[in-house]
Amino acid sequence: MDEPSTELLESYARLLDLVRSGKADTRPALSQRTGLGRTAITQRTSTLLDAGLLEEGELNPSTGGRQARTLRFRKDAGHILTAELGATSFTAGVTDLMGTVLAKRHRDCDIAQGPDPVLDEVETALEDLLNEIGGRRDQVWGVGIGLPGPVEFATARPSEPPIMPGWNNYPVRERFVRRYSAPVWVDNEVNLLCLGELRTPGAVTELGDLLYVKIGTGIGAGISNGGRLHRGAQGCAGDIGHAAVSDDNSIVCRCGKTGCLEAVAGGAALARDGAELARSGKSPALAAALEANGAVTGADVTAAARAGDHHAVQLLVTAGRRIGSMLATMVNFYNPSTILLGGKVAGAGDLFLATIRETIYRRSLPLSTRELRIERARLGEEGGLIGAAYMVLDELFSVRYFGLWLPEGSPSGMPWLHTVNGRAG
C-alpha cells in the first residue's frame, strides 16, 4: 500500500478516534459524524480493518432499514510500556492501546543514583510486567517515559536536571529503542500526569484549560490549552519550582540558585525545616521521628501536622502560602479553568489545600477566579502511566507518523519511527 496523502491520513485518524472514543460504532454513524459518503466510509474502514486496527462485531438491531454491523477498535492488538520516575520512586506499567493500565508496579528508587542503575530497575520491572500479562516484545507498539526534570521533547534527552546528577543529555530514548525495537518518547513527568488527567473520560469538557501542579520532593506544573498539552518551544513549560519567590540568599536550591519556590516550599524544604525543628526540640513529634529514623522527611512533617503539632502545621501553612502566591501569578497570567494538585505533599490534608486555595483567591484578579476550580488530582499513581501511554498513542496516530506504519498494521519493529527526514521528534 502506498503511503496515504495527508488528507487521507487525517480522515483515517478521525474515523479511528470516533470508534475508539465510542462516538460512532457503525459505518452509517461514521458517515453521519464526518459527512463522508458511503463509498468513502467503506473504503476507509476496509483499509483500517485490513490493517488490523478495527474489527467487526455483531449486527445492530434494525431500526427499519438494513442492519449495520458494529465496528470496534482493536485495543488489544499491541501494548504500550510506560514508566513515571519521581525523585524517590518510580511506577512502571503496561497498557493496552486505549491507555488502560493492565499491570503496574511501584518501587522506591533514588533518581540521584544515576541513569544506568535506575533504568536497569525500570527495565526489569517492565519485563516482569510484560511477562505477567503474557505479552511479548514484538507486541510492544511504543514506550513512554516520564522523568522528574526538564526534557527536550524533540530529542527525548534530559537537560541539566537539578535533582538528577549524571542524567544530563543521557540517551534515554536510544536505550529503550535498543531493548524493545519500538518507537520511544520521553517527557517531564508532570506533563504526563497532566495528560493522564486530560485523557480521563469526560475530562476535556470538565477541565478545559488545566493547570496540573505536582507538589512532592520538588514542585512542577503541567499546562493544557483547550484540552491539549502545552510543552513550550523546547519542552520545559511549567517549571514553576525554580521560579524565584524569595530574596533570602541563604537557602540554596538543588539547581544551584537561591530563592526558588521548590527550595522554600517543596517536600525537601519541609524535611529540612522539620529536621531543624526536631533538633531544636520545638517539635516533640518530629524529634521522635528523627531519633527513630535518623532523618526527618516531608511525610513526617505532614503526619505531625495531622496529629496537631503546631510547628508542623505552621510549616505547611507557610509552604501553602508560598505555593498559592506563585499559582496566583499563574492564574492572573494564564487564567485556567481548573487547577489540580497532585503529589505526596499535596495530599498533606485539608488545611494545606485550603491555605493554597485561600491565597490564590486573595491574590488573583476576581475575574480570573470567578469560575476557577481548585481540587486534588483525581488519578493516583496510574495518572502518569496513562499520560505516558497517551503521549505515545498521540504521536503514533498523528499525521506525522501514522502513514509510516499503517501499511504494516503496527509500529512494532520500527524504532526509527520517531525520526522524520532524519530529524528526531
Give tens-digit pLDDT for 32-43: 999 999 999 999
Q: Are 99 and 390 in contact (CB under 8 A)?
A: yes
Confidence check: pLDDT of 348 > 80 = no
> What is the rounded average pLDDT of the residues 140-155?
94
State the amino acid at position 402 in one-letter form. Answer: F
Confidence check: pLDDT of 239 > 50 = yes
The answer to whether the Cα torsion of 10, 14, 16, 20 is positive or negative is: positive
Q: Do domains 6-73 and 205-376 have the same CATH topology?
A: no
Per-residue pLDDT reduced to its tens digit, 350-368: 888 999 999 999 999 999 9
Q: Are 167 and 258 in contact (CB under 8 A)?
A: no
Q: Minimal CA–CA distance to 74: which of 97, 95, 92, 58?
A: 97
Q: Are 201 and 163 in contact (CB under 8 A)?
A: no
Domain ranges in the chain are: 6-73, 79-195+382-424, 205-376
pLDDT band for position 2 (50/70/90)?
low
Per-residue pLDDT reduced to its tens digit, 26-73: 999 999 999 999 999 999 999 999 999 999 887 766 555 566 789 999
> What is the rounded average pLDDT of the residues 108-125?
95
| Residue of 243 and 173 predicted with greater confidence | 173
Confidence check: pLDDT of 421 > 50 = no
Distances (CA, A) of 37 to 13, 27, 29, 43, 58: 17, 10, 11, 10, 22
> What is the rounded average pLDDT of the residues 181-209?
85
pLDDT at 246: 83
Confidence check: pLDDT of 6 > 50 = yes
pLDDT at 385: 96
CATH architecture of the domain with range 79-195+382-424 = 2-Layer Sandwich (3.30)
State the amino acid at position 206 in one-letter form. Answer: E
> What is the rounded average pLDDT of the residues 377-397?
92
Residues forming beta bridges with residue 55, ordered by sequence position: 72
Distances (CA, A) of 36 to 27, 29, 32, 65, 219: 10, 10, 7, 19, 47
Chain-wide mean pLDDT for the chain?
Answer: 89
Confidence check: pLDDT of 423 > 80 = no
Per-residue pLDDT reduced to its tens digit, 14-25: 999 899 888 898
pLDDT at 425: 54
Q: At the topology level of CATH, where does 6-73 sit?
A: Arc Repressor Mutant, subunit A (1.10.10)
Residues in the chain: 425
| Residue of 66 and 180 predicted with greater confidence | 180
pLDDT at 281: 87
Q: How far apart are CA 420 and CA 129, in angstroms?
A: 31
Q: Are 84 and 192 in contact (CB under 8 A)?
A: yes
Q: How far apart are CA 343 and CA 379, in angstroms?
A: 11
Q: Are 389 and 144 in contact (CB under 8 A)?
A: yes
pLDDT band for position 217 (50/70/90)?
confident
Q: How far apart are CA 162 and CA 168, in angstroms?
A: 9
> What is the rounded average pLDDT of the residues 372-381?
87
Displacement of CA 8 from its chain's centroid (Å): 30
What dotted CATH number matches 205-376?
3.30.420.40
- Return the minimum-mean-pLDDT range out of 92-106, 143-157, 203-217, 233-247: 203-217
| Residue of 61 and 181 predicted with greater confidence | 181
pLDDT at 63: 57
- Return the minimum-mean-pLDDT range out of 161-170, 205-214, 220-229: 205-214
Q: How far apart are CA 345 and CA 265, in angstroms?
A: 10
Confidence check: pLDDT of 280 > 50 = yes
Per-residue pLDDT reduced to its tens digit, 324-339: 999 999 999 999 999 9
Per-residue pLDDT reduced to its tens digit, 97-111: 999 999 999 999 999
Instruction: Please report, rounded to a whole number, the percentage of residues in the chain having pLDDT higher than 90.
Output: 62
Q: How far apart are CA 276 and CA 298, in angstroms?
A: 13
> What is the rounded average pLDDT of the residues 152-176?
93
pLDDT at 245: 87
> What is the rounded average pLDDT of the residues 195-211?
77
